[in-house]
Amino acid sequence: QKEVEQNSGPLSVPEGAIASLNCTYSDRGSQSFFWYRQYSGKSPELIMSIYSNGDKEDGRFTAQLNKASQYVSLLIRDSQPSDSATYLCAVKMGSSASKIIFGSGTRLSIRP
Amino acid sequence: DAGVIQSPRHEVTEMGQEVTLRCKPISGHNSLFWYRQTMMRGLELLIYFNNNVPIDDSGMPEDRFSAKMPNASFSTLKIQPSEPRDSAVYFCASSLGPGIHSNQPQHFGDGTRLSIL
């Protein structure tokens, strides 16, 4: 089992709809969770972080964490064409103070 | 604030040659990470340093790869000898490390696109 798993996509969502991206992780001791956005040919950029169970909202983005189910998700409301990118889930492993493992990413495409 | 700075941005060289990639982390960050990204394997952690000390190099593919961090503001990743399968984008990232800042995310440089012919 991979340490961090995501559906590779592509996930196609109509403009204005909600895009839902999912991620599961294997290390029960993990405490920190991040979502990065990566445009083609660019470096990953942090868009959300979450550390506690529940929802965390930032503008059009909502991160959801369920540690019991080892599941973290990212919702993008009112999807825009500029949201088309690959979204990487990253998890800081509980056994290591600094090591962060990235999922393989989900490619999101917003269709006009 | 300057972000993570990597050089060169692009490198094309012939197999067998030595390749050196460079990284300057964000000032004040004490954790530094080297990643490799390919279409097939995604983003792979190669090695990370905390306070200039290598903590985990289990992702380094083989002995041809080596990394150093002689001081808090500079790190290198070296491949010798290089092979075509090393072609990838190599990212350096930095973060505030363990302790009270242990929840801090990583900030990435623009990457080095490496092509080995």
Rounded distance, CA A98 to CA A32, Å? Answer: 10
Confidence of residue A85 (pLDDT cuts 50, 70, 90): very high
Nearest-neighbour CA in chain A from B110: distance (Å): 5
What are the beta bridge partners of residue B85?
none
Per-residue pLDDT tens digits for B61-105: 889 999 999 999 999 999 999 999 999 999 999 988 665 446 778
Report the residue of A2, A36, A37, A43 to disrupt the B interface, i.e. the one with the largest count of B CBs within 10 Å. A43
